[in-house]
Amino acid sequence: MNFEFSEEQLMIQQAARDYAQRELIKDVIERDTHAIYPTEHVKALSELGFMGMLVDPEYDGGGMDTVSYVLAMEEISKVDSSVSVVMSVNNSLVCYGIEKFGTEAQKEKFLKPLARGEKIGAFLLSEPEAGSDATSQRTTAEDKGDYYLLNGTKNWITNGNTAGTYLVIAQTHPEKGHKGINVLIVDRHSPGISVGPHEDKMGMRSSDTHSVMFNDVKVPKENRIGEDGFGFKFAMKTLEGGRIGIAAQALGIASGAFERAVKYSKERKAFGTEIANHQSVAFKLADMAVKIENARNLCLKAAWLKDQGKPYGYASAMAKYYAAEIAMEVTTEAVQIHGGYGYVKEYHVERLMREAKLTQIYEGTSEIQQIVISRQVLSEF
């Protein structure tokens, strides 16, 4: 791997950093406190090209590489993961899924508005009794000839209420198990769709998380992605890329907390000197720096493999697992270094700690990543 970033990659990183540090920071505490969706920030990032940054320019996207995506995600997540999760879902799940596996007609109709940020996408996999288990779908898509009749409930859906386009994983042939699952592109405003209340979450509170219910929703057969029964493979392939985005988000949360901890340790005095001069603090910072650098390398390796067209599922699982774990560790230590100030909102690190916890849970829990990793390890030896 070449560890030197290109001029374009550095420009993308700087643009993301500038926006996060100049604009996102202004109202992040208020939005977190009152669970306010970041409408204006999503619009601004769309104008900067970040909502469709991985999409080919042929479909009105930015045509950027995955390494650039990781750099941008890290910078946005340093300040506000409620915004970066909107960016992540739209890019690495919805846009990627349609561009990689959709028809030209689907790309023209659905992908272009998503890439331009005119619409936001949502990925509907999780269910009340299935979680992230794509093989246990209770939502059904009954084949009615030229359309599917969609019924069921999805929960924990990011962008559940604000999305204009849903990608819905549903079971068409229960007797075939996971080979009977399909993925459908669904217009959010189709008759029969209802959205539950906003989830009052511990972290990433201004992101838009809801349950979504389908009651006899008609979905044209032309909105199915891939052949009949392709839904399970679609979900697995798409989640591989999604894990890179969440790994980068976790990395950003850790980096943001670390930077604040370093700054505070140079300003706060105790026993006649800045606390950074005490080994108990300095050694914490050293451990945090090593863990963050390791996580960053794992994220960039997974991104590089994807950009090279090489298998990256194993690498993305490792990146997501490790980055989420160290995000929790680093943010907890950042709160500790801040002492009592770390426990109040003004200093941001308590919010970053709350956000870190969610990275261990969604896009497949840390335990699921361990399953993916262990299977690969055991197959090699």
Domain boundaries along the sequence of the chain: 7-119, 122-228, 232-380
Q: What angle do CA 296, 298, 300 make, to 5 degrees?
A: 70
Q: Quote the pLDDT of residue 260.
A: 98
**pLDDT per position as a tens digit, 325-348:** 999 999 999 999 999 999 999 999
At residue 6, does pLDDT exceed 90?
yes
Share of the chain above pLDDT 70, in %: 98
- What is 232-380's CATH number? 1.20.140.10
H or E element at residue 288: helix 279-307
- Tell me the C-alpha to C-alpha distance, in Å, between residue 62 and each of 53, 69, 146, 221, 305: 4, 11, 35, 30, 20
Q: Quote the pLDDT of residue 366.
A: 77
**pLDDT per position as a tens digit, 61-120:** 999 999 999 999 999 999 999 999 999 999 999 999 999 999 999 999 999 999 999 999
> How many other CB atoms are there within 10 angstroms of residue 320's CB atom?
35
Fold of 122-228: Butyryl-CoA Dehydrogenase, subunit A; domain 2 (2.40.110)
**pLDDT per position as a tens digit, 27-75:** 999 999 999 999 999 999 999 999 999 999 999 999 999 999 999 999 9
> How many other CB atoms are there within 10 angstroms of residue 336's CB atom?
14
Can you tell me the distance from the alpha carbon of 87 to that of 47, in angstroms, rounded to the nearest whole number?
12
Q: Quote the pLDDT of residue 284.
A: 97
Contact between 84 and 73 (Cβ < 8 Å): yes
pLDDT band at 368 (very low <50, low <70, confident <90, very high): confident
**pLDDT per position as a tens digit, 174-220:** 999 999 999 999 999 999 999 999 999 999 999 999 999 999 999 99
Q: Which residues are catalytic, by number? A: 363
- What is 7-119's CATH number? 1.10.540.10
